Amino acid sequence: MFLAQATEPLEIPEVAWSSFAPELALTAAALVLLLIAIAKGRQQLVAVPAAVVSLAAGIWLVTQQLVVPGGVAIALGLALPALVFAFPRRGSLVQAWGAGLALVGALVLTGWQYLTVLEGGGTEVATIVPQAALAGALANDGIAFFTRITVYLTGLLVVPIGYGYLQDRRINRAEVEPLLLLAVVGMAALGTANDLITLFVALEVLSLALYVLAGLARRDRRSQEASLKYFVLGAVASAILLYGMALTYVASGELALPAIGSSLGLVTTDRVVATLGLALITVGLGFKVALVPFHLWTPDVYQGSPTNVTAFMAAATKAAGFAAILRLYLVAFPGLQGLWVPVLAVLAALTMLYGAYLALVQRDLKRMLAYSSITHAGYATIGVVAVSDAGLSGTLWYLLTYAVSTLGAFACVIAIERTRGGEVGLLELRGLGRTSPAIAGILSLCLLSLAGLPPTAGFVGKLVVFQAGVQAGLTWLVVIGVLSSVVAAFFYLRIAGTMFLEDADPALPLPAASSGLTVGTAVSAALVVFLGIQPQLFLQVADSAAALVR
Amino acid sequence: MKLLAVLASGVELEVVETTSGLIGLAWLIPLVPLLGFVGVLLATRALADRAATIAMGAAALTFVLSAAVATTVILEPATYVRAMPTWIDVGGFTVTFELLIDQLTAVMLLVVTGVGLLVHVYSVGYMHGDSRYPRYFGYLNLFLASMLILVLGSNLLTLFLGWELVGLSSYLLIGFWFESRSNAAAAKKAFVTNRVGDVSFMVGMFLTFATFGTLDILDVVTDAEALASGTAFALVLLFLGGAVAKSAQIPLYVWLPDAMAGPTPVSALIHAATMVTAGVYLLVRLSPLLVVSVDAMEIIAWVGALTALFAALIAVRQDGIKEILAYSTISQLGFMFLAVGVGAFRESIFHLVTHAFFKGLLFLVAGSVMHAMANRTDIWQMGGLRKVMPVTFWTAAIGTAAIAGVPPLAGFFSKDQILTEAYFHGYGAIWIIGLVAAVLTAFYMSRWFILIFLGRPRYGEVVHPHESPPSMTVPLIVLAVLSAIGGLALNAVHTGPLYRFLEPTVGPIDQLGYEPVGPLEEAVLIPLAIVAAAVGILLAYLAYARRDVSSGRMSEPVSGVGAELMERRFFVDEAYEKVFTGAGGRVAQAMVWFDTRVIDGLVDGAGAVSVAIGRVGRRAQTGLVRSYVGVVLLGAIVLVGVLMAQVV
Amino acid sequence: MSFFEQYGTFAILVVLGCLLYALIMVVSRVMRPSVPSPQKLTTYECGVPAEGTGWTQVNIRYYVFAFLFVIFDVEAIFLFPWAVIVGGLDATTPVSPMFAVVAMFLFIGTLLEGLAYAWKKGVLRWD
């Protein structure tokens, strides 16, 4: 019987390379950068062949009418030897520039992908035509594109922000950038994954990379502790998630999310097994995005990890995790809506209140931002439980605004940490508004955005999500959200107040920004303002993102 | 393009959408001070000396623009809409930066930019020599821009944008002299109290969108008539919550007296003339919505009346030159809320305008006095300033008489018209409360005036008061003239020019079926108001001017438990402190305790149950990780239990 | 409920097993004479006497070796299905044989890069 099956001709799916072109480019970049790191001192030996291969591939692509991917390949192929010859003795600078350029390339490829699946255009509001690829394993739809944008943008900003910091702490090891790129690939894949296996693999790719990144500071006990805690707890969560996926497969007999969705909608489906699967998946994903009560790892891990890694984790992991949540719940579990909507709504309410209240009593800035990130997971969940197009695009948009705001805030923390070392408490911030107004100003701006005050990005983010919540009839949840944002405003404001309304301690050294940090911080701050005043560009994309592969 | 928006009551609004002419330039009105703010802050080092010039220029320019726009509205009355780019457009939720310019806007524009310009001029003298002189002017311009956004926004959300920005600039200006810790605390108190109101406002906006499908003010007021009264009641109360915080009404007034920590010109501009009236503006703006729910309006009226009385009682026994004015402001804002509540929308705006004149004037007078007295604030250490500061004295006299309700000064007309409307609309109790508050107003303002300017000097040899420089006295004189003739010129009789001008923009009250309280005619009511003012002034004269106050503090004429309560501000601040800070802190403490203790304890307890967790975790990991895993598993068990209970 | 019925059989088996175990222990406890001596209480009654506790630290290197071994072991498992299919490929299939070979070498190359990295980091040194 088994043998008879095996002899049947196997169906080999068409490989639509363009559907994961950005990830492909980044993976290749990560591998090449790692090779360069291995060939320390003889970097040309790696760079030149890699460049030749890349150029050849690029030219071939251009001849195949694929001008944009070809152009990206050629550009990266040319940039690589240029970097190696420009900085022969400074490996980490090659790594940083290489990673940054690869991420720019990935953003270009994302834009190219986006344009190819757009319909309409002109003055009309364009809509995305969702495309499934690799026999349904990937879905190139709105969630995928928006998650890519958020994640790549975050990666692109984290590289310069972290460069000087890693050097100061002497943890600028060669594997940082490749790991970062691989984590980014995992996150983007998580946003694209349209079946359970791809989803799980993507989740593990990003998690494994982050476990290592969290423990980057090998001499720092807290960093080690953070890494170990994250790993152990993450493994538990992954196991629970995997079990949930298995049960879902048992109940539906399908792995592809749309197929699960239609199968679970049938009356013949075993609802008990399906519900068990749903519950366990909720636990697993709730852990990844830090919903109460699965949030406990967050403060310890965020506080202990190197700050640039924390920034990356806070901004990008959340975006990727919510992309998976959105896709799973809206595509695979619409049949069980009556079950998960109230549960997630309660979790969201708990998360918002709990995070805000605990942030109130924190003294350490990184820990406070960790609790703040927990709170923000609650806000983003409002868009999920709204179960509407508005909620979907609202959550995606919210995550982008949160990402830029929190990146800016962490970048300022890095600037302060660089000269003062150790932890940054509230006391160390006194009078910063007078001694270094630029950093204090940008930190305040980002905190105001996190608090959701106009005219910053965070305000528009909250507004859109709350709006979707009210439209879905979840007024009670929105009221809780607004209340928690008032509590949250209190502690964000306390920081701003400490910086501007108190006297400085002259003994403390002034914060110092490296050039990369300056650029990263400035871009984040500019985005916070731009997305607040002129959010239309990205809101359109988010709005058209409501088209899913179902 | 001309459109007709018909209110269900039959009132037709002529809506003109235009991008040309003077209205077309309206977008420059908030932009000019915003550019001033950016310019001054960026040029702090290079152009520090010119900061005041830049800021003042911006204020003057925006005043001229406002005057031009207002003139257009006066000459060709209509509701103008200036199209602007879109702000947010997502899934049927559209918000533009469109500007709404109608009669109400015109009045507010003139008040805001007019008083704003005067305060800019005044500040040149007052803030001279301050170490953060440029920053001060930058903040002032930021405030002006924010307030103009608030006034011009055609959309509740753009209005809210301005609403938050004025809060932010107020925060920055209250804490401007942050060297003193109490100033910083005051700034924070103001901000946080206002955030409480914002919750209400925001929920109100969401409910508005859920009800009307739009946040455009014109659409909302046009469709308001068809609303179920329950929804309207909820909406009005939610917006009232926002207004109560911004306009310092019961129960959220506590921040305003503390806000006096800011520079005095700021108190004049923000905490007397403009920002605090934003709540009144909001309610009048939404008056077509208000009239759908008479019950909600009655609540507004009671909030206003009680605030007017309560704040006046407190003001009677305060000693700080600015504290008295702060409580007086709260009380006067109470009068405006009272007016809105009894359906006297136009009278409310009228009082807003006259109040901006005389209260702005009084604060600037206070600033002038403090300037002369080396920043002394206790009125018991002043006295006899009449001779040394003649201009300040005379302008103060006009201001005091105006607020006390002495005819024919501005405050008399506006306050009297509010009270008569309360009477004719059948709110007898509120009318009486208003009269009592009017007596108290006359009393405490006269006390303020007498103790500062009359009698013999009590300030000793240390300070040498002198008249302020012209940059300060000129704004005083301008405002004094306005306080003197403003009422007479604008709306001397009940159906004066301002009344007719504002008519198209406010909600119709005809269908509410108001009936007078009693048979009294206006000819009786007006003398009653004059008597009230006279009684207050006379009492103050007997109590303070006739007695010897030459040697420092004297005993107050009234004593006892009531007076003590008034002096201690009825212990409201202390009570709030206890309830909110205390309780809030305790909740947070409880959560921390839960986070650190209970969770560990739970897990240790659960360890006995779920043996597997303990076995795996015991030796390999630290206790904490074990606890975390335990909580995750416990959460998972609860979640699974809850979900499974629904399907099994 | 077929899913849980399968587990029901399993559960019955578990319960039966536990009962059997308990029964045997109880029976032996009841029937045997109890004459303890130190010799009898040692872990192993024959061979080398045990020293220390069971919780000793093992050099982390073993972990890395094991890890690398597993990675290449799993790679071999992937090679088998690939080898089955690659023979059936020709020009008519969506994927050409050449493509399949290149893809597999890329896969192996990626793993080898990891090995090279580990080597470079010095984790392969024995002493």
Residue B598 scores a pLDDT above 60:
no
Best C92, C96, C120 residue to mutate vs chain A (most A CBs within 10 Å): C120
Q: How far apart are the first and last CA of chain C?
A: 58
Average pLDDT, integer, range B165-190: 81
Give the whole-angstrom CA distance, residue B600 versus residue C94: 58
Distance from CA of A549 to the nearest CA of B (A): 19
Work out the average pLDDT over A399-423. 89
Q: According to the model, what pLDDT value does residue A196 have?
A: 93
B645–A contact, CB cutoff 8 A:
no
Q: Where are the domains of chain C?
A: 2-33, 60-120
DSSP B496-548: -HHHHHHGGGSPP-GGG----SSS--HHHHHHHHHHHHHHHHHHHIIIIISS-
Exposure string over A154-173, b if 16+ CB within 10 A, otherwise e: bbbbbbbbbbbbbbbbebbb
pLDDT category at B577 given cuts 50, 70, 90 is confident
CB-CB under 8 Å, A229 with B643? no
Which is more confident, B425 or B600?
B425
Per-residue pLDDT, averaged over A493-505, amounts to 77
Q: What does the pLDDT look like over A275-316, one tens digit per residue? A: 999 999 999 999 999 998 888 888 888 988 999 999 999 999
Cβ contact, residue pair A454, B207, below 8 Å: no
- Whether the pLDDT of residue B140 is over 50: the answer is yes
Query: Is the confidence at residue B270, as pLDDT, over 60?
Result: yes
Among B221, B253, B465, B490, smallest CA distance to B353 is for B490
CB contact under 8 A, B644 and A471: no
Residue type, B419: L
> Counting beta carbons within 10 angstroms of the beta carbon of residue C113, is it exposed (0 to 12), middle (13 to 18) or buried (19 or more)?
middle
Flag whether pLDDT at B580 surpasses 90: no
Lowest mean pLDDT, pick from A37-41, A114-118, A445-449, C21-25? A114-118
Over 70: is that where the pLDDT of A166 sits?
A: yes
Q: Which of A27-31, A314-318, B89-93, B428-432 has the lowest mean pLDDT?
A: B89-93
In angstroms, the CA B118 to CA A388 distance is 52
Judged by DSSP in three states, A261 sits in: helix
Interval A461-482: pLDDT, tens: 998 899 889 888 888 999 899 8
Model confidence pLDDT, tens digit, residues A72-118: 888 988 888 888 888 877 778 888 899 999 999 999 998 888 877 76
Residue A190 is predicted with a pLDDT of 93
Predicted pLDDT of residue B334:
93
- Do B640 and A503 lie within an 8 Å CB cutoff? no
Residue A282 and residue B639: Cβ atoms within 8 Å? yes
Task: Give pLDDT tens digits for B533-566.
Answer: 899 998 888 888 776 655 555 666 666 777 777 7
Contacts of A13 in chain C (CB under 8 A): 94
Among B89, B625, B647, beta carbon nearest to A271:
B647
pLDDT per residue as tens digits for the range A48-74: 888 888 999 899 888 888 888 888 888
Q: What is the DSSP string of C67-95?
A: HHHHHHHHHHHHHHHHHHHHTT--TTSSS
Contact A21, A176 (CB under 8 A): no
pLDDT of C25 over the 90 cut: yes
| ipTM greater than 0.85 | no
- Bridge partners of B378? B320
Cα(B45)–Cα(B26) distance, integer angstroms: 31
Q: Are B331 and B311 a contacting pair, CB within 8 Å? A: yes
pLDDT digits (tens, 9 = 90+) for B42-53: 665 666 667 888
What average pLDDT score do residues B212-232 get?
84
Confidence at B250, pLDDT banded by 50, 70, 90: confident
Averaged pLDDT for residues A504-522: 82
Chain A residues in contact with B168 (beta carbon < 8 A): 448, 453
Task: Give me the residue spans of the domains in chain B.
Answer: 586-647
Q: Which of A190, A377, A380 is nearest to A290 (CA)?
A: A377
Residues facing A175 on adjacent strands: none
Q: In this structure, how many other beta carbons lie within 10 angstroms of the beta carbon of residue C15? A: 10
What's residue B550's pLDDT? 57
Instruction: Report CA-CA distances (Å) from B350 to B108, B264, B267.
Output: 11, 24, 21
- Which among A154, A200, A199 has a CA at the least distance from the CA of A181? A154
> Exposed, middle or buried by CB within 10 Å (0-12, 13-18, 19+), for B2?
exposed
Cis check for the bond before A22: say yes or no (omega within 30 of 0).
no
Which residue from B minimizes the CA distance to A466?
Answer: B206
Tell me the two tokens of residue B384.
């006899």
- Rounded to whole angstroms, the Cα distance separating A335 from B617 reads 38
Residue A133: its H or E element: strand A131-133
Q: What is the pLDDT of residues C65-100, one digit of tens each?
A: 888 888 888 888 888 888 888 877 777 777 788 888
Contacts of B632 in chain A (CB under 8 A): 233, 236-237, 240, 283, 287, 293-294, 296
Q: How confident is the model at residue B623 (pLDDT cuts 50, 70, 90)?
A: very low
| C3/A250 touch (CB, cutoff 8 Å), yes or no | yes
d(C-alpha B417, C-alpha A202), whole Å: 72
| Interacting residues of A79 by C-beta distance below 8 A, sequence separation 6+ | A97, A98, A101
Q: How far apart are the first and last CA of chain B?
A: 63
User: pLDDT tens for residues B274-325?
Assistant: 888 999 999 999 988 888 888 888 999 999 999 999 899 888 888 888 889 9
> Higher-confidence residue: B622 or B260?
B260
Alpha-carbon dihedral sign for residues B511, B514, B520, B526: negative
- What is the distance between the alpha carbons of residues B202 and A480, in angstroms, rounded to a whole number? 12
Q: What number of other Cβ atoms are within 10 A of residue B25's Cβ?
A: 16
Partner residue facing A453 (CB), from B164, B181, B587: B164
Residue in C closest to A32 by C-alpha: C113
Residue identified by tokens 């509001």 is A125
pLDDT at B188: 78
pLDDT tens digits, B442-496: 999 998 898 888 877 777 777 778 888 888 889 999 999 999 888 888 887 777 8
User: What values do phi and psi take at C124, rounded to 5?
Assistant: -85, -10
pLDDT-based confidence at residue B609 (cuts at 50, 70, 90): very low
Q: Phi first, then psi: give them for residue A285, nearest 5 degrees.
A: -75, -35
Residue B8 has pLDDT above 50, yes or no: no
Chosen for mutation from A467, A477, A484, A540 (greatest number of chain B CBs closer than 10 Å) is: A467
A545 band by pLDDT with thresholds 50, 70 and 90: confident
Which chain B residues are closer than 8 Å to A486 by Cβ?
Answer: 192, 195-196, 198-199
Closest CA to A510 of A429, A445, A407, A410: A429
- Min Cα–Cα distance to chain B from A308, Å: 24
pLDDT value for B624: 65
- In a mutational test of the A interface, the residue from B135, B632, B634, B648 whose CB has the highest number of chain A CBs within 10 Å is B632
Specify the higher pLDDT residue, B421 or C87: B421
Q: What token pair was written down for B444?
A: 């405490």
pTM confidence score: 0.82
Q: Which residue has the tokens 């103060």?
A: B396
User: How high is the pLDDT of residue B601?
Assistant: 47
Average pLDDT, chain A: 86
pLDDT of residue C50: 67
- pLDDT given for residue A486 in this prediction: 81
Q: By CA distance, what is C115's nearest residue in A? A: A38
Beta bridge partners of B122: none
